[in-house]
Amino acid sequence: MSAINPVEWEVSPGLVPYQSAVRSMEERVAAIGRGAAPERVWLLEHPPLYTAGTSAKEQDLLEPRFPVFKTGRGGQYTYHGPGQRVAYVMIDLTRRGRRDVRLFVRDLEEWLIRALASLGVQGERRKGRVGIWVKARDGREDKIAAIGVRLKQWVTYHGVSLNVSPDLSHYSGIVPCGIAQEDLGVTSLAKLGTGASLRDTDAALKGAFVDIFGEVIEAPITESA
């Protein structure tokens, strides 16, 4: 396995348009694959929108209240919007000697679980359900973080989204991730009463990422993709 250089860690302020973010990811993934750019984790927020993964079912789009984008990531329908921290993860699995998609997803899950723990939230995996879940007081289980990835020549992109303080009513336009059971829903750090800000969440994500994936190096703040 080749020596692993620090991963570039970038945080974009404001709302980044989805299509420009995808273009930026694709360009960076190609550069990483050529060995012309470092690995990258890109934290951002999107304007309100829905994305359809490769397993999305047409009937799960209940009401297209916001723009809908078809995307090559795995998974079904999900929502992105203000107050949700999206983290796009561009990692070269070949360079890391770990060409195992399931193991990579497991690492993403562990990353989110550790970050949530540092914010006082117990996030958990659930067999047969993608993402990270929390137990509610009434016996429900709510999803707090989603995972959807794609690979190109063993370089990963897309990634995870963690609900910090989004408008959860925006999820009503879709069946999130195909989960329609009445005892399952979505939640956020705000709804759980943590008081965590985006800045707090970013710090938690960074600390947990270093533990699992290795060192990071700050990238200059940019205004857009």
Residue 89 lies in a domain: yes
Domain membership flag for residue 58: yes
| Residue 92 confidence (pLDDT) | 98
Residue 187 lies in a domain: yes
Residue 43's domain comprises: 7-217
**By the 8 A CB rule, do 80 and 31 touch?**
no
8 A C-beta contact, residue 104 and residue 93: yes
The pTM of this model reads 0.92
Secondary structure tally for the chain: helices H, strands E: 3, 12
Question: For the chain, what is the domain count?
Answer: 1
Condensed to tens digits (0 to 9), the pLDDT of residues 85-109 reads 999 999 999 999 999 999 999 999 9
In a domain, 167, yes or no: yes
Say what the pLDDT of residue 225 is.
42
Bridge partners of 51, per DSSP, are: 69, 78
118 sits in which H/E element: helix 101-118
End-to-end CA distance of the chain: 31
Q: What is the CATH number of the domain that holds 26?
A: 3.30.930.10
The predicted structure's pLDDT at residue 4: 83
- Radius of gyration, CA atoms only, the chain: 17
Half-sphere exposure of 122 toward its Cβ, with a 13 Å CA cutoff?
A: 5
Give every CB contact of residue 130 below 8 A, 6+ residues apart in sequence.
75, 146, 147, 148, 177
Domain-embedded: residue 42: yes
Which candidate in 177, 192, 216, 225 is catalytic?
177
- Catalytic residue at 176? no
**Nearest C-alpha neighbor of 176 from the set 130, 125, 108, 126:** 130
For position 76, what pLDDT does the model report? 85
Instruction: Give me the average pLDDT of each 10-residue run along the chain (225 residues).
Output: 83 96 97 96 98 89 92 87 98 95 96 98 90 86 93 97 97 78 83 96 98 92 49
The reply to whether 29 falls in a domain is yes
Indicate whether 223 belongs to any domain: no
Q: Considering the domain boundaries, does residue 222 fall inside one? A: no
